[in-house]
A and B are shown apart, each in its own frame.
Chain A
Amino acid sequence: MEHIIIIGGGGTGAALAHDLALRGFKVSLFEKGELLSGTTGRHHGLLHSGARYAVHDPTAAQECIAENSILRRIAPQALEQNDGLFVALEETDMAYRRVFVESCRACGISVRQLSAAEALGLEPALNPNLKLALQLPDATMDAWRLPLQFFATAKANGAELHSFAEVRGIHVRSGRVTGVRIFDYKKHREYDVRGDLLVNATGAWAGKICALAGIQVPVQPGPGVMVTVNARLTNMVINRLHPAGEGDIIVPQRKLSALGTSLWLANDPDGIALPRDHIRRIIGLCAQMVPAVKDTPLHSAWCAARPLLGGRKADDPQKISRTFDCYDHKERDNLEGLVSVMGGKATTLRAMAAKTADLICRKTGRDLPCRTAAQKLLHWRLFYQ
């Protein structure tokens, strides 16, 4: 079978290594740092129902709800499956309700309306002045353990996973990618790896990798700040019932509550300093939904760069679609042997991998179906056993 080289050990690379190994390909994955140390592990841990995108980005919403139900089946140990509430606090939220509910239903996302009293019965910490809440199939994921389950399964099926191994160069001969130059941080040496196809699964770093091959890709880093406070204030994920914006989500996890998030556009995914003023802003906005947020000690704050597809500085970044795509650089740039997958969300990692592996099958002339939707993943603990 063909040897497929994956660059990037985040959620996308993990799911792709699993998918390709299951289809029988020889797989080698290279990650410049620890596995899952880029954007993947650093999100707030929401398993999207898709509701957040239903009104303005139905493609992403439909991808999310489909993957939401699949991940519940194949990785239940990495999920707190407690649903989510979208809470209406003001008349403008109430006015948004109708288009929100219709859009969710059109995307196949189930919605159940709760009175304020019913919502407070489920979640006593909610703002007592809420007008109503909508219950949706959101959930909390462990942002590290869920993708590590994909790695554990990929490894058991023969994928070779190399952490602290950075791609420093892409070898091209006669318009065709033939392999990569690796720097191994563990052994402090460089070496070459030959492959039949190279997949760029580096998310917000995709532009940097493609630059090694002298080509460009339409991906832009879109960092955001996330905050945790040191108490679990709710059991369900709490969202503000309004168009996607900043500071409108609280994701409970273990004994913490993660608050999200802000969004801006950056040119470089590395070295993004945490804008400390965002922390207060996010806490203030989230406290409108759950007032105890502002009286709970700050636990930590950090930022991560989303891989936004087709983003341009002039765009309103909230309006950039959160769908994903994969590109055959033979068609885009007349460079054979290189595929890039980008965009998407942690929730849709499996679907991103499936679409990319389908493309790889077409390119290699193999008729091998995707089997990852039905295959329960190995426990993350088995990655180390």
Chain B
Amino acid sequence: MQTVTFRIWRFKAAQIDPPQFQDFKLSVEANMSVLEGLEKIRQEQDQTLMYRHSCHHASCGTCACKINGRERLACITPIKDLPARPITLTPLDGFASLGDLVVDMHRFYKNLSADWSYLRESDHPGPSRAPREVKPFMRFENCVECGACVSACPVTPESEKFMGPAALAALHDELEKSPAKAADLLSLAGGSRGVRWCKSALRCSQVCPTAVYPARHIAELRRRGERSTK
């Protein structure tokens, strides 16, 4: 057991407004995640602390926040792996806070079409030796829609006009899966809200917790766009 301090950004409209940091001291076990630390604070010290969480294994994407200045999923961030103390928690950038670390995800989902499939053919654990009379194995897309890339992007906090890295990565995935939709998808990617805003800072790929590498998708969309206009 060791004692650590969580320095948490607190905000409640008309209550803790303007926002301020609050320190919580707690004793933690080895291997405890930042999310477990938040749960412990809420259980033992302050039940008014607000944060999002659900699956606790980087599948839902709800617990994304900035931990010591970098976008991460609290559920898969072990406290012992964080060199800096105190552990500073702030909400994602570019989203409105609904209270403490909870952000309003409407802005994120507005750019993700419900028509784009969340399923892809499974690439693990490699091609099966079985006869393929059965339909292919399927799996969910890598992106857990957490918003980390949108927060880290130097463009999205400045301009709501940019679709953002997650939406462009999903758009590119859809393009690969549904070539028949190419004209519409490339027109959206090349349009006024698309790839033109990207400054190739690559922050999206650096912070993505599930290795979507949105910057690669954006680069590929640019190549496809150039080819189609030639």
Residues of A within 8 A of B (CB): 33-34, 36-37, 40-42, 45, 77-78, 80-82, 118, 120-125, 140, 142-145, 164, 185-188, 226, 228, 231-236, 252-256, 258, 270-271, 274, 276, 299-300, 302, 378-379, 381-385
Cβ–Cβ contact B119 & A187, under 8 A: no
Q: Is the beta-carbon distance between A144 and B130 smaller than 8 angstroms?
A: no
* Residues from chain B with Cβ under 8 Å of A123 in the complex: 128
B119-A255 in contact (CB<8A): no
Interface flag for B82 (CB, 8 Å): no
Min Cβ gap A166→B in Å is 9
Q: Is A42's CB under 8 angstroms from B129's CB?
A: no
In the complex, what residues of B have CB within 8 A of residue A77's CB?
117-119
- B-side residues, CB < 8 A to A, are 12-15, 29, 31, 33, 36, 43-44, 48, 50-60, 62, 75-76, 98-99, 102, 105-106, 108-110, 112-114, 117-119, 122, 124-126, 128-131, 137-142, 144-145, 210-211
In the complex, which of the residues A81, A124, A187 contacts B12, with contact meaning CB atoms closer than 8 Å? A187
List 9 A-B residue pairs with CB atoms under 8 Å apart, sorted by A's residue number. A33-B53, A34-B52, A80-B122, A121-B130, A185-B99, A188-B12, A254-B139, A254-B141, A381-B112
Minimal Cβ-Cβ distance residue in B for A271 = B43
Q: Would B54 and A228 count as touching, CB distance under 8 A?
A: no
Q: Are B114 and A381 in contact (CB under 8 A)?
A: yes
In whole angstroms, how far apart are the Cα atoms of A80 and B138 in the complex? 6
The answer on a CB contact under 8 Å between A187 and B14 is: yes
Could you tell me the distance between the alpha carbons of A110 and B186 in the complex, rounded to whole angstroms? 44
Please report the C-alpha to C-alpha distance between residue A228 and residue B58 in the assembled complex, in whole angstroms.
10
> Which residues does chain B contribute within 8 Å of A252, judged by CB atoms?
124, 139
Main secondary structure of the interface of B (DSSP, over half): loop
Main secondary structure of the interface of A (DSSP, over half): loop
Contact B59 A142 (CB under 8 A): yes
Contact at B210–A188, with CB atoms within 8 Å?
no
CA distance A153 to B130 in the complex (A): 39
Contact A186 B98 (CB under 8 A): yes
A232's partner among B31, B76, B122 (CB-CB below 8 A) is B122
Q: Cβ of B48 and Cβ of A188 under 8 Å apart?
A: yes
Q: How distant is A383 from chain B, measured CB to nearest CB, in Å?
A: 8
- Is B122 within 8 A of A253, CB to CB? no
Query: Is B12 a contact partner of A255 (Cβ separation < 8 A)?
Result: no
Closest beta carbon of chain B to A186's beta carbon, Å: 5
Question: Which residue of B43, B109, B124 is within 8 Å of A255 (Cβ)?
Answer: B124
Q: A254-B142, A256-B59 are in contact. Are A164 and B99 (CB under 8 A)?
A: yes
Given A121-B130, A254-B142, A381-B112, the answer on whether A37 and B13 have CB atoms closer than 8 Å is: no
Complex contacts, B58 vs chain A, CB 8 Å: 228, 256, 299-300
Given A80-B119, A235-B124, A186 and B13 touching (CB < 8 A)? yes
